[in-house]
Structure 1
Amino acid sequence: MAKIIRTNFPDWSASVPVLPKTGPRRQALYGELRRMIEAGTLPPGAKLPTTRDLARRFSLSRGAAVAAYDMLVADGFAEARIGAGTYVASVVPVIETPPPLRRNTVQREPPPLPGVLGSSTADQRTLQIFRGLLNRHLAKPSIRHFHYNEPAGGQDLRDEIAAYLRAARGVQCTGDQVIVTAGTQHGIDLVIRTLLKSGDPVWVEEPCYPAARAAFQAAGMRLIGVPVDAEGIDPAAGIRLGPQARAAYVTPSHQFPFGVTLSMPRRLALIAWAEQQDAYIIEDDYDSEFRYAGPPLTSLQGIDGQGRVIYVGTFSKALMPGLRIGYLVAPWALRDALLDTRRLSDRFPPTLAEEALAEFLRDGHFAAHIKRARRRLRLARDMLVSALADGGLEVSTPEQGLHLVAGLPPGLSDLALSDPALTDLALTDLALAADAARSGFGVRALSPMYLGPPARQGLIIGFSGFPAEEIARAARRWLETKPFRPEF
């Protein structure tokens, strides 16, 4: 004869559906009992079955049944009466059912296209070495990983960065002046929040790196666009336009976007202005490692004897943006103030990546990586220049960096700049950049990089981040559909 299972309600079992065989069954039991209570199937004051009965009926552990009841009691749907059992609450809470989840309509970032700026190219040898370093430091982790780090970063990495900058860039510094950041943009933000206040006038190059310009604008700076020519930014023009500026943001070794180098007379004039006005120069040396004709030029900081230059750089271009490690070389007078600002927003850099990178630099792996990268990038640059020239764009071969500027064929830029009827096209280079993206070629327009009315149009095209053949192929594919003529 079958054993009879007794419950408090003769028809109770028929009201409860079979629980799923997989997943968190405790949560499922709680959900079904709550549904029945909210629907009135189990009325207020009704006694609930024992946890032993529930466990046996649904093949649960008794602990799971007890936990489901505890959740009902905690949420106000049930009451536990000592020595009497568990009952539906006399007053059941009314909880509005949230609306059903809608499909996420947030626009996702499209994948990068050949020609995009700011990418690095994977180097299998580098990845293999760096992975080994990370694994070793993770297998035998330093005690530093389990405590808060110094806001400036670990001493080993700062010393290695300082040694590298002294040898490769002529930067005059010790490891104690280096502050490890999450990239160039982070370093610029630290300087802005430490030294400047809303409304301060600041020189920026005209045209200028858009992300840096956006950082100054977001902080309320009054930007003064100082013209750039073949010798770089013109300090004399800056003095005429804004002699009382509190800071100047410059890319002297490889101006972005034009790629020109700041001449020595102008470097000296810029430093003299900063000293006279008690201003500071923010030197962004974003891609100095990649010079294809001769050694990299000495940094502006290296000829500054007055502590007026704040040097910022990054490993994003040389290694990978995902590493999120950059650096700032602070004049001694500003070091403590910059570190105080750092403590407020980001207490310290990641120690695991720090230790691996310090060893990577110390053992010569970084220097070897840069040599391999230069060979790949030189090939990509030459193939891209050839493809663009064959397609009718005006381009010269850059001697440094990871991008080039392609001028528009004669007639195109003149037409857009002189004909007001074409302003709704947002200038020809913007229209061409959008068209290139649709064909799978990720170029940027030059004209939006001006603070004021654009004096020149063109296309900014990167040659890193993808194999040389892929970048050239993307350029040719787009240009095959563009018979560049003045009547375009």
Structure 2
Amino acid sequence: MKRRDAASDWIVEALALRLTANEAATLVQQLYDSLKEWIQHGELLAADMLPSSRYLSRTLGISRNTVLAAMDRLLAEGLLISRQGAGLYVADLPALLTRAELPPPLPVRYSNRGNKLLTLSGTLSHGHRAFAPGVPALDLFPREQWQRLLRRHYSHAKMTWMDYQTSGGLPELKAVLCDYLRFSRAVRCQPEQIVITQGAQQAFELITQLLTDHGDSVWMEEPGYGGAQACFLTSGLTVTPIPVDQQGLNPSLAPAKTPAPRLIYVTPSHQYPSGVTMPVPRRLALLEHAFHAGSWIIEDDYDSEFRYDTPPTPSLQGLSEQASVIYVGTFSKVLYPGLRLGYLVLPDTLAEDFTRALARLHREGNYPVQSALAEFIANGHFTRHIARMRAAYRQRQACLRTALAPAVAKGLSLSGGHAGMHLLAELATIEEEEILVERASEVGITLSPLSRYYLSENKRPGLVLGYAGSTESDLIASGKWLSDTWLHLRNSQDSTTPSAEGMPAYSPGAFL
């Protein structure tokens, strides 16, 4: 018997076993997948003849159009060839190596900046477990109201919004955002100075791409925000950590002979993660230093809306007469991170060029969402939501403080908590920090170690405790676990290596 006749016989029998009407894949897909697999793995060889479409249709009990559709795909991909008047044959293809014959995979070699990025990415938290910093109260977001707005603005979206956009954001959103920033944050701006971005991170990247060259110096708060650190380091900038004191970044603490920075990154309203607020005299001193050094200041105002017992401090940008401040804001903290919207408030001299660069690099869009957000702000929903969150966060912080009170009474130091969405707990040693982080991970609690926010070796141990994204009952349960665990470690501090024996258990349901 010829090879081609034998192939025809077993093809029909094998297909009869494989084709199933109840499979999720269509019969066309099943037929195509089976024949392709046999060809690629050598069960069907070059010049093997396939049964005719009529024969396959009749013997398999399927439509001939189904068979022809699968064969047409195989012909289009070059796996089969058609011989006039003689039928379909397997094409002469290069032999595929078996898994055993394949050479070992090439070693992965990341760039230097890629390795830096991956190192910094190790601090990302997964999921919204207790104490995850930077996560807002998603459970309190007015989701139904927001979804109604989205549906209406998508259904009435302008045809022009489907095209590429080059305006730096929806004009209506920039107009209402401008009014909000002028009145609530004392930001000096016109709508034309605002550029809407996909979050603050994209804003940082746009600043570095337009205003810095490889090797330029940037001053970074120490400790400081990991997202900004990652952006500057992977952009090839020389990052100089400047220590933060009780008034924020202190220019006088810059190392001797440090080159004049091209950029100075600060979070003056609520320094991340220490929580201190930069007073006006320090702000004026920083503005003067930047003016004489020819530096651009990046003011990251990420959660200044949430102040509890002190009046808001005017923005650094609003104090500047030299137009040297670039103001960065985000909706991730006040609304929700998945919105992926942030903004830049730029000096007049930069706004048009930043708008063009954004359109070139990132192809801005999603104007229906921006339109819904503009209405959300214009109708007062935004400010009312902030007021509700401010009250909720004050209560959630109080719950966390109550849960941690036994440890505080024995010496655990907490930050003031006058603003923001997290508290900072200071620890005695890096070893203590590592043990607490490890034990918390084992019971499903997120503890963000303060030492990871440092770029220099002069690290301070501590914990960044986010409370905004957790319910009060979860904060009580998790806070009690942390308090008990810290007290256990403190009581066993005379041991060379603290033991896990007797470590408090964590059971959220027990405190509900």
Under a length normalisation based on structure 2, what TM-score does the superposition of the two structures give? Answer: 0.82
1:277 and 1:90 mapped to 2: Cα distance? Answer: 70
Question: What corresponds to 1:176 in structure 2?
Answer: 192
Instruction: Decide whether the 8 Å contact of 2:467 with 2:475 is kept in 1.
Output: yes
Question: What corresponds to 2:21 in structure 1?
Answer: 21
Do structure 1's residue 487 and structure 2's residue 494 form an aligned pair?
yes
Question: What corresponds to 2:343 in structure 1?
Answer: 327
Cα 1:9–1:143 shift into 2, 3 Å: closer
Which deviations, in whole Å up to 9, do the C-alpha atoms of 1:60-95 show, x marking residues without a partner?
Answer: 22222112332343444543233x241424746544
**Aligned pairs (5 A) from 1:440-479:** 440-454=444-458, 456-479=460-483
**Aligned pairs (5 A) from 1:245-260:** 245-260=261-276
Instruction: Look at both structures and tell me which one has the larger radius of gyration over its CA atoms.
Output: 1
Cα 1:140–1:475 shift into 2, 3 Å: same
User: 1:44 deviation in Å?
Assistant: 6.2
The secondary structure found in structure 1 opposite 2:276 is: coil
Question: What corresponds to 1:225 in structure 2?
Answer: 241
Cα 1:365–1:68 shift into 2, 3 Å: same
Q: 2:205 aligns with which of 175, 178, 189?
A: 189
CA RMSD of aligned residues (A): 2.9
2:399 and 2:381 mapped to 1: Cα distance? Answer: 28
**Aligned pairs (5 A) from 1:65-464:** 65-82=67-84, 84-89=85-90, 91=92, 94-96=95-97, 110-124=126-140, 126-238=142-254, 242=258, 244-391=260-407, 392=410, 393-408=412-427, 413=428, 416=429, 426-454=430-458, 456-464=460-468
Cα 1:452–1:69 shift into 2, 3 Å: closer
Instruction: Decide whether the 8 Å contact of 2:153 with 2:369 is kept in 1.
Output: no
Question: What corresponds to 2:501 in structure 1?
Answer: none
User: 1:487 deviation in Å?
Assistant: 2.9
Which deviations, in whole Å up to 9, do the C-alpha atoms of 1:174-227 show, x marking residues without a partner?
Answer: 111111111112111111111111221221122212221222122222222222
Aligned residue identity for 1:330: L
Aligned residue identity for 2:65: G
Aligned residue identity for 1:64: T
Instruction: Decide whether the 8 Å contact of 2:128 with 2:469 is kept in 1.
Output: no
Q: Which has the higher mean CA deviation after the structures are superposed, 349-358 or 26-35?
A: 26-35
Q: Percent identity at matched positions? A: 35
1:449 and 1:278 mapped to 2: Cα distance? Answer: 27
Cα 1:65–1:477 shift into 2, 3 Å: same
The secondary structure found in structure 2 opposite 1:338 is: helix
Instruction: Decide whether the 8 Å contact of 1:388 with 1:395 is kept in 2.
Output: no
Which deviations, in whole Å up to 9, do the C-alpha atoms of 1:416-441 show, x marking residues without a partner?
Answer: 4xxxxxxxxx5432332232332333
Instruction: Decide whether the 8 Å contact of 1:55 with 1:62 is kept in 2.
Output: yes
1:90 and 1:349 mapped to 2: Cα distance? Answer: 46
Aligned residue identity for 2:417: P
Figure out how many residues of one structure are paired with residues of the other and give that number.
Answer: 459
The secondary structure found in structure 1 opposite 2:174 is: helix
Unaligned ranges ≥5, structure 1? 1-7, 100-106, 417-425
The secondary structure found in structure 1 opposite 2:236 is: coil
Q: Which has the higher mean CA deviation after the structures are superposed, 67-76 or 170-179?
A: 67-76
Question: What corresponds to 2:115 in structure 1?
Answer: none
Instruction: Decide whether the 8 Å contact of 1:205 with 1:227 is kept in 2.
Output: yes
